[in-house]
Structure 1
Amino acid sequence: METVSIILFLLLAVVVSGAFARMLPFGVPVPLVQILLGAVIGLSTSHRVVLDPELFLFLFLPPLLFLDGWRIPKDELFKDLSTVVELALGLVLLTVIGMGLLINWMIPAMPLAVAFALAAVVSPTDPIAVSAIAARVPIPKRMMHILEGESLLNDASGLVCLRFAVAAALTGSFSAGEAALTFLWVAGGGLAIGVLVTLAVSGAKTWVTRRWGEDTGSQILVSLLIPFGSYLLAEHFHASGILAAVAAGVTMTFAEISRQAMAVTRMRRNSVWDTLQFTLNGVIFVLLGEQLPGIVAGAKETVLLTGHHSPWWLGIYVVAIVAGLAALRFAWVWTSLRLTILRKREGTAEMQSPNWRLVAATSFAGVRGAITLAGVLTLPLALRDGTPFPARDLAIFLAAGVIIVSLVLASVGLPILLKDLKLPPEPSRQAEEDSARVATAEAAIRAVERHQHEQGEAHDDPGLYAAAGGRVMDFYQERIDGLSDGGADELRLQERLASELRLVGIQAERAQLLELARARAIGSEIARKLTRELDLAEARHRG
């Protein structure tokens, strides 16, 4: 019962964190509010959440990474793939090596393997925390796509590096050649298993649907099970379950293109996944706050591991690690942007120097968050001989400090750097969108014409079906004429104004429906049905 009560308190903290964040001035990011609420829970109860590292990793990371891979814009990812790979792989490796050596030099009591493990868990970035920070100052789309792609890949690369570092700490030995071969299997096997599981499940699901129909609840549940199945199967074959979850999410996009689900299934599934993502990310930050009182209470014992007596040394180490991460990221981003993003047109030898605000904003956006906390909590509790894992509490304290300090610094600096920041102009995709709208409208007209003729002949009433079909085809023909005759801008303006007026009408409908329901002029079932129709219409016009 106590465990259930704590879980409910954690979920309640996630629920109220968004409201508290909106109430507080200066745009305090939601993750910081969640950490604060978690700390309040930790201080107000004598019961502590004891986290099993493997269970924590299994419950939180697969669905989050799967969803990131599923929803990330693939075209934008491939367009800046070289930059993303440089940040997600090159920068991670540089961070693990550079920060591992720095941490070991600063804290000789922390073994080198553990220092590399700590460096590995602080290398991944968290775009969700960045989005929360920059809510009032929107991040330029291209920068956000790069950050999303970087986070998707560096989550996997950082956690794979963590796996090798922990193995070295447990065995006391490390072989570069053996590690390279193991990495190939861990990475390649994980990617292949994630792809195969998604394709197999999607194919089986489609086969069942075509023969016996589609059940929305089952479809949603299957999508929830895919990341866990991919993770477990990959781990069973000693491959990377994290990469398997990422690959499964990316593959899900392409599997969905050829195997379409019903509209109601997609809508409900998106709602379920949005709720799951919000809950899991929120619970992770609340758990960080809940663990903080215990971590701080043990600071005196933890600092003794460093050879000092004052707890302030722990703060100094956190600041030094954050500064080292920022310096490495700034240097790497400067080089990466100079080589790949801000290059002038082909055939021009001159290179444009990156705007320092762009480099600084991209560097500040390297906020550590849920993945860092999840990774550090997966450090084993003991070595193979049963002795406690060396400096585990110290690593958790430093990782938690890095998360909090990076969030605070980014919440202050990122909005300032992003204000009025100009990026190189991006090519418009409007023509591509207009062409797709015309093509789909033409296909709709052909289908309506064919259907009205078939139904009119079958029911001996062609005039009725011709009139109904004409109304529908006029709608599509207006779209084609507006987009094909150079009136695309005017048509879009008309549609925007029509949506605005439609929203006014929907609000009036909703108010009148509420009055009818309160007066018992209509039944609850009719009220529920009409409310749902109004909700769908409002979502369409607001989208």
Structure 2
Amino acid sequence: METVSIVLFLLLAVVVSGAVSRMVPLALPTPLVQIVLGCVIGLSTSHRVALDPELFLFLFLPPLLFLDGWRIPKDELFKDVSTVVELALGLVLITVVGMGLFIHWMIPAMPLAVAFALAAVVSPTDPIAVSAIAARVPIPKRMMHILEGESLLNDASGLVCLRFAVAAALTGHFAAGPAVLNFLWVAGGGLAIGVAVTLAVTRVKAWVTKRWGEDTGSQILVSLLIPFGSYMVAEHVHASGILAAVSAGVTMSFAEVSRQALADTRMRRISVWDMIQFTLNGIIFVLLGEQLPGILSGARQTVALTGHSAPWWLAVYILAIVAGLAALRFLWVWGSLKLTILRRRDAAQTPHSPDWRLIAAMSFAGVRGAITLAGVLTLPLALNDGAPFPARDLAIFLAAGVIIVSLVVASVALPILLKDLKMPAEPSRQAEEDQARIMTAQAAIVAIERRQHGLAEQSGEADLYAQAGGRVMDFYRERIEGLAEEQADRARAQDRLMSEFRLVGIKAERAALSRLIRARSIGSEAARKLTRELDLSEARLRG
């Protein structure tokens, strides 16, 4: 019963955090609110959440990484793939080696392998926290796509590095040759298993649906089980479950193209996954806050591990790590953009030096969040011989401090840097979108005509079907004419105004429907149906 109560308090804190972050006058990021609420829970109850590292990793990371891989825009990712790979792989390796050596030099009491493990968990960035910070100062789309792609890959690369660092700490030695071969198996096997599991499940699901129809609840549940299944299979064969979850999500987006689900299934599945993402990310930050009182209460014992007695030394270490991470990221981003400019110059393109604020914004956007906390909490409790894992509490304390400080610094710096920041000009995709609308409308007209003639031949009532089909085809012809003529911009402006007027009408419809429901002039079934129709219409207009 105590466990259930704590879980309910955590969920309530996640719900309250969204409202509080919107009510405060300052642009306070939701993750910081969740950490504060978690602290309140930790201080107001004598019960503590005892986190099992392996269980924590298994419950939180696979669905979050799977969803990131599923939803990330693939075209935008491929367009900036070189920049993303440089940030997600090169920067992670530099961070693990450089910050690992720096942390060990700064805190000699922390073994080198543990220092590398700590550097590995603070290397991944968190785009959820960045978007929450910049909610009132929108991040340029291309910049956000780069951050999303970087986060997707550096989550996996950072956690794989963590795995090797922990193995070195447990065994007491590290061999480069076997480690490279093991890395190839861990990475390649994880990626392959994620692809294989997703393709197998989606094919079986499509075959069952084709023979016996589609059940919306079952389809949604299958999508929830895929990341966990991929993770478990990969871990069973000692491959990377993290990479398996990522590749499963990427594969899912391609598999859905050829094996479409019903519209109702897709809409409900999106809602379910949105709720899961919000809940899991929120619980992770609330858990960080809930653990903070216990972590802070042991600060004196923790700092004693470093050879000092004053707890403020821990703050010095945290600030030094944050500064080191920021410096490494700034230099890497600057070098990466310079290389991109040189490549464009070689390709006979006119190079443009990036605004210094762009480099600074990309650097401060390296906020640590859910993945860092999840990773550091997976550090083993004991070594192979049963002895306590060295400096585990210190590593958790420093990682938690890095998360909080990076959130605070970014919440102050990013809105200033992003204000009126202009990204390099990008080619418009409006013509591509218009052409796709024209082609789909033409296909619809052909299909309607074919169906219209077939029904007319069967029943002989040609006029009835001609009128009904003509009304629908006129809708598609108007779309084609509006997109094909020279005044397409004016037509789009009219569409926007029509959408605005339609939303005004829907609002009035809701008010009238509410009055009818309160007066009990219509039954509950009719009210539910009309409400759903209005919901779908509003979602389509706002989409």
Q: Which residue of 1 aligns with 2:435?
A: 435
Q: Please list, as runs of the form range in 1=range in 2, the aligned pairs for 1:338-353 lying within 5 A after superposition.
A: 338-340=338-340, 344=344, 347-348=347-348, 351-353=351-353
1:20 maps onto 2:47 in alignment: no
List per-residue Cα deviations over 1:400-423 (Å, max 9, x = no partner).
000000000000000000001111
Aligned to 2:135, the other structure's residue is in SS state: coil
Give, in whole Å, the separation in 2 of the partners of 1:475 and 1:223.
Answer: 36
Give, in whole Å, the separation in 2 of the partners of 1:343 and 1:354.
Answer: 14
List per-residue Cα deviations over 1:491-519 (Å, max 9, x = no partner).
21111011000001101111101111111
Q: Which residue of 2 aligns with 1:38?
A: 38
Give, in whole Å, the separation in 1 of the partners of 2:70 and 2:334.
Answer: 29
What is the TM-score when the length of structure 2 is the normalising length? 0.99
Distance change (3 Å), C-alpha of 1:307 and 1:140: same
Q: Which residue of 1 aligns with 2:465?
A: 465
Q: Which residue of 2 aligns with 1:518?
A: 518
Aligned to 1:438, the other structure's residue is in SS state: helix
Give, in whole Å, the separation in 1 of the partners of 2:25 and 2:237.
Answer: 50
Give, in whole Å, the separation in 2 of the partners of 1:509 and 1:452.
Answer: 33
1:422 maps onto 2:422 in alignment: yes
Q: Flag structure 2 segments of 5+ consecutive residues without an equivalent.
A: none
Give, in whole Å, the separation in 1 of the partners of 2:120 and 2:455.
Answer: 65
Distance change (3 Å), C-alpha of 1:43 and 1:174: same
Q: Please list, as runs of the form range in 1=range in 2, the aligned pairs for 1:298-447 lying within 5 A after superposition.
A: 298-340=298-340, 344=344, 347-348=347-348, 351-447=351-447
Give, in whole Å, the separation in 1 of the partners of 2:364 and 2:25.
Answer: 21
Shift of 1:349: 8.5
Distance change (3 Å), C-alpha of 1:448 and 1:341: farther
* 2:124 and 2:154 in contact (8 A); partners too: yes
List per-residue Cα deviations over 1:80-99 (Å, max 9, x = no partner).
00000000000000000000
Aligned to 2:209, the other structure's residue is in SS state: helix
Question: Hey, which bits of structure 1, 4+ residues long, moved more than 4 A?
Answer: 341-351
Q: State the number of aligned residues.
A: 543
List per-residue Cα deviations over 1:474-502 (Å, max 9, x = no partner).
00000111111223212211110110000
Q: Which residue of 2 aligns with 1:241?
A: 241
Q: Which residue of 2 aligns with 1:453?
A: 453
List per-residue Cα deviations over 1:211-248 (Å, max 9, x = no partner).
00000000000000000000000000100000000000
Give, in whole Å, the separation in 2 of the partners of 1:347 and 1:226.
Answer: 42
Aligned to 1:320, the other structure's residue is in SS state: helix
* 1:444 and 1:476 in contact (8 A); partners too: yes
Give, in whole Å, the separation in 2 of the partners of 1:120 and 1:316.
Answer: 20
Q: Please list, as runs of the form range in 1=range in 2, the aligned pairs for 1:2-13 lying within 5 A after superposition.
A: 2-13=2-13
Give, in whole Å, the separation in 2 of the partners of 1:375 and 1:61.
Answer: 9
List per-residue Cα deviations over 1:175-201 (Å, max 9, x = no partner).
111111100000000000000000000
Q: Which residue of 2 aligns with 1:488?
A: 488
Q: Which residue of 2 aligns with 1:199?
A: 199
Distance change (3 Å), C-alpha of 1:341 and 1:399: farther
Distance change (3 Å), C-alpha of 1:70 and 1:347: closer
- One-letter code of the match for 2:125? T
Q: Please list, as runs of the form range in 1=range in 2, the aligned pairs for 1:234-273 lying within 5 A after superposition.
A: 234-273=234-273
* 1:338 and 1:352 in contact (8 A); partners too: no
Q: Which moved more, 1:453-462 or 1:133-142?
A: 453-462
- One-letter code of the match for 2:387? T
Shift of 1:305: 0.2
Q: Which residue of 1 aligns with 2:225?
A: 225
Give, in whole Å, the separation in 2 of the partners of 1:207 and 1:297.
Answer: 57
Aligned to 1:27, the other structure's residue is in SS state: coil
Give, in whole Å, the separation in 2 of the partners of 1:411 and 1:361.
Answer: 11
Q: Which residue of 2 aligns with 1:211?
A: 211
List per-residue Cα deviations over 1:122-146 (Å, max 9, x = no partner).
0000000000000011101110000
Q: Which residue of 2 aligns with 1:59?
A: 59
Shift of 1:344: 5.0
Shift of 1:322: 0.1
Say what the alpha-carbon RMSD is for the aligned residues: 1.0
Give, in whole Å, the separation in 2 of the partners of 1:340 and 1:436.
Answer: 31
What is the TM-score when the length of structure 1 is the normalising length? 0.99
- One-letter code of the match for 2:222? V
Q: Flag structure 1 segments of 5+ consecutive residues without an equivalent.
A: none
Give, in whole Å, the separation in 2 of the partners of 1:362 and 1:422.
Answer: 13
* 1:342 and 1:352 in contact (8 A); partners too: no
Shift of 1:542: 1.2
Distance change (3 Å), C-alpha of 1:347 and 1:369: closer
Give, in whole Å, the separation in 2 of the partners of 1:18 and 1:436.
Answer: 38
Give, in whole Å, the separation in 2 of the partners of 1:349 and 1:227.
Answer: 42
Q: Which residue of 1 aligns with 2:275?
A: 275
Aligned to 1:422, the other structure's residue is in SS state: coil
Q: Which residue of 1 aligns with 2:108?
A: 108
Give, in whole Å, the separation in 1 of the partners of 2:65 and 2:247.
Answer: 9
1:498 maps onto 2:495 in alignment: no
* 1:338 and 1:351 in contact (8 A); partners too: no
Give, in whole Å, the separation in 2 of the partners of 1:224 and 1:348.
Answer: 47
